[in-house]
Amino acid sequence: MAIEGEKIVAVAKEAHIPKAEKIVDAAGKFVIPGIIDVHVHMREPGFTEKEDYTTGTKAAAAGGITFVCPQPNLVPVPNTVENYMMQIELGEKKAVVDFNPIASPLLYEKGQVPELAKAGTGWFKIFQRKAAYPYDTAAGTSNTAHIYKAFKAVAPTGLYVAVHPCNIDILNETVSDLEKANLKGDYVAYWSKTYSNEELTSAALQLGYLAEKAGCKYYALHCYLSDYIDVIRRMKASGQNVVASAEALGLFPMTKEEAGEFYGPFQSFEKENQEATWRGLLDGTIDFLGTDHAPTTKESVMEALSIREPEKRGGGNPMLEVYLPLMLTAVNKGMLGDVNQGLERMVKLCAEKAARAFSSYPRKGVIQVGSDADITIVDLDREDTITTEKYARYTKAHWTPYVGRKVKGVPTHTIVRGSIVMEEGEILVNPGYGKFIKPVR
Ligand SMILES: [Zn+2]
């Protein structure tokens, strides 16, 4: 392949490739489209003690990711054009990979939705509860009528609305049962009871109906529970315009030994849910993946545990630097079919289909002439062991719940618009290299 400036200018056998100033030798490796992560929490603005655009996007680059979509549970929430532009400015000053921040549609009454669509949000996101992990921000509401109004406001823009589904009555009842058993403050008990099939699936059923009624495209996220995946499969079979994603935490259960004090057992780790999720990846019910990189410092984790408020710790983990090695290991294990077929499927799930759904294809998500030269080079044979030093090197969190996990397959180069951003773990560009990517509509 040949790259000139920011673009791919030729894809051909070596003899047909023009002479180049610089050659990257990928012999023995695989050259794939740059990985797109549709679900990251960059924590900026508002919570930069946990992560910011520079540390978060360096972690992305180290993990072979070329393009990220930061989620809106921030302060201020990107629910006005002004707030949205603030995020773009921060990213353009500080990011090392490309990005598209996701806006909140909840200020629909103020006419912000069409403006935010024009400003370039890839889609919209709502948390169906006030507490938007782990913060109380304006990015969330448990008022279903308001969500329905937001769907109606977004419908004419043609964009998807992603909803973190939560049946608040079921969640509250679960928490009250934990309280009665004197377990409400117990982190392990809390996260093994909440996030249940009933909590998410019953909400998704209702959301799917309301989105369709509003004529709005529905994006179902956190699809790593068996009943939830079945519901999405039925919506798709009925012809509804819905896309679905699973996030890395749900795909790769951690063990107590690996995670230590960061251990949190989720219902998605149960065998039935694991099998359903990987089946959903294979049969196309789940369209694409994100990391749900949710960095939080060790100090704040420890504080939440000591004051027995599991909510404050949140359920997420730093994932950007481990995600691709975990995926490549799954490919090597045959979890997505035989290795070649598996790698192809992985590219669809981790790059191409998200670019298509959110209108940045074929600029992103594919290796072809005219596309941005966003390339991830992976060594599918290299074996390694996950350590904090190497796999939580750039995130401000500096911890990973997978310490000691053996992986086979790692990214060796991350190329964004023709520049090598990461080579063998080292970041080679300055903050501000990353660009805001506006979808083409
Ligand atoms: Zn998230």
Per-residue pLDDT reduced to its tens digit, 53-64:
999 999 999 999
List the single range of 162-171, 189-198, 217-226 with lowest mean pLDDT.
189-198
- pTM > 0.95: yes
Assess whether pLDDT exceeds 70 at residue 301.
yes
pLDDT at 270: 95
pLDDT at 390: 98
Distance from Cα 295 to the centre of ligand 1, integer Å: 10
Neighbours of ion ligand 1 (CB under 5 A): 292
pLDDT at 109: 94
Distance from Cα 198 to the centre of ligand 1, integer Å: 19
CA pair distance 417, 52, nearest whole angstrom: 22
Distance from Cα 2 to the centre of ligand 1, integer Å: 36
pLDDT at 269: 93
Q: Give which of 114, 4, 101, 118 is closest to 57, Cα–Cα.
A: 101
pLDDT at 176: 95
Distance from Cα 71 to the centre of ligand 1, integer Å: 7
Arithmetic mean of pLDDT, 1-15: 94
3-state secondary structure string across 148-188: HHHHHHHHHHCCEEEEECCCHHHHHHHHHHHHHCCCCCCHH
Residue 101 identity: P
- Is the separation of the CB atoms in 391 and 359 below 8 Å? no
- Is the separation of the CB atoms in 74 and 44 below 8 Å? yes
Assess whether pLDDT exceeds 90 at residue 101.
yes
Residue where the block lists tokens 């773009």: 88
- Is the separation of the CB atoms in 336 and 282 below 8 Å? yes
List the single range of 152-156, 183-187, 199-203, 291-295 with lowest mean pLDDT.
183-187
pLDDT at 135: 65
Distance from Cα 145 to the centre of ligand 1, integer Å: 23
Arithmetic mean of pLDDT, 379-399: 98
pLDDT at 52: 98
Assess whether pLDDT exceeds 70 at residue 374.
yes
Give the other-Cβ count within 10 Å of 285's Cβ.
24
Distance from Cα 26 to the centre of ligand 1, integer Å: 34
The stretches of 47-196 forming alpha helices (DSSP H) are 53-62, 81-94, 112-119, 144-154, 168-180, 187-193
Distance from Cα 247 to the centre of ligand 1, integer Å: 8
pLDDT tens, position by position, 307-353: 888 888 777 899 999 999 999 999 999 999 999 999 999 999 999 99
More confident residue, 19 or 87: 87
What radius of gyration do the chain's Cα atoms show?
Answer: 21
pLDDT tens, position by position, 112-160: 999 999 999 999 999 998 765 656 678 999 999 999 999 999 999 999 9
| Distance set, CA 117 to CA 37, 160, 180, 242 (Å) | 20, 11, 46, 19
pLDDT tens, position by position, 234-261: 999 999 999 999 999 899 999 999 999 9
Return mean pLDDT, the chain: 95
Distance from Cα 39 to the centre of ligand 1, integer Å: 6
Distance from Cα 338 to the centre of ligand 1, integer Å: 30
Distance from Cα 354 to the centre of ligand 1, integer Å: 16
pLDDT tens, position by position, 415-436: 999 999 999 999 999 999 999 9
Those residues with Cβ within 8 angstroms of residue 176's Cβ, 6 or more apart along the chain or in another chain = none
Q: Percentages helix, strand, coil for the chain, rounded to the nearest 5?
A: 40, 20, 40
